[in-house]
Amino acid sequence: MGVTVLRSNEGDSVNRTGDAIFIGEVRARNLVGDSKDLSASIVQFNPGAQTKMHRHSSDQMLLVLSGIGKVGDASGDHVIGTGDSAFITAGHDHWHGAGDTGSPMTHLSVLRGGSESTVL
């Protein structure tokens, strides 16, 4: 297929509010289309919005693009802000989002293509 360019004003930002994995108002934009090897999306969390506790069948990398958010697991949570990244290993129960920070947060999420998510 070669090189595909997705301009910043192209692609759909889909309202994910009410999806099984999210709490609060969330929008997401797929960046790579139908790749079998890679999944990448920009996810925008309104203040108070976050994921439920979940796990993925592949490793996940999060990169905060703007705002203040949190990422956590059973041992506690960490405040993350613009430029911070978080790496979550496959099968590890975790959550992430704007949470109770009072700020919106947008992150880039990268997973292996075809990775499955399980909401706990």
Domain ranges of the chain: 26-119
- Residue-level pLDDT at 34: 79
- Residue-level pLDDT at 3: 87
CB 90 within 8 A of CB 57: yes
Name which CATH class applies to 26-119.
mainly beta
SS3 content of the chain, % helix, strand, coil (to 5): 0, 50, 50
CB atoms < 10 A from the CB of 81, how many?
A: 13
Provide the residue-wise pLDDT of the chain in tens; the chain has 120 residues: 688 888 888 888 999 999 999 999 999 999 997 789 999 999 999 999 999 999 999 999 999 999 999 999 999 999 999 999 999 999 999 999 998 999 999 999 999 999 999 999
98, 68, 101, 96: which is closest to 82 by C-alpha? 68
- Residue-level pLDDT at 10: 86
What is the pTM for the complete model shown? Answer: 0.93
Separation in Å, CA 64 to CA 34, 83, 99, 100, 105:
23, 5, 14, 16, 7
